[in-house]
Structure 1
Amino acid sequence: MIEAIQITREFRYQGITLTDLGENFTPEYIKDFYAGTYPALTNAEIQDNGISDDKHIYTFSTKVATKG
């Protein structure tokens, strides 16, 4: 028997789960939207962590930079 499940998206940044704005919006758009609240997201990378527990998980991560 095949069972259909609904996969939701989850966006994470520094231990915070950010609300998905809707499936019509790309992860890039969501990152840009939240950059207004979290300015470091402007230069963040989007990591697709795959599906776990019926959630498609994306993580926004920033690079640590050093002045040199």
Structure 2
Amino acid sequence: MALEVTNLKRSFKFKKDGKMITLADANPAFTLEETVQFYSTQYPELTTATIDGPKVECDNAVYEFKTTIGTKG
């Protein structure tokens, strides 16, 4: 039995206004930090986000951007 190697596709999530938003991988060649920078032009709260993950869901490596804007303490 041959072993088949496949790459997981990346996707990104973050919580905005109490809702979870899923973002596609803008460019698979981007590092995680470059992906955050890319999406921070559209979502400014990501400029201070930390990256958590990946968690494997189906055939995706899901990273979560954790933002601190709007939280107390």
Determine if the TM-score, normalized by the shorter chain, exceeds 0.5: yes
Structure 2 gap ranges (5+): none
Structure 1 gap ranges (5+): none
Letter in 1 for 2:48: N
Task: State TM-score, norm by structure 1.
Answer: 0.80
Q: Displaced runs of 4+ in structure 1, greater than 4 A?
A: none
RMSD: 1.5
Considering fraction of residues, name the structure with more strand: 2
Is residue 5–residue 54 contact of structure 1 (8 Å, CA) maintained in 2? no
Task: State TM-score, norm by structure 2.
Answer: 0.76
Match of 2:21 among 5, 16, 25: 16
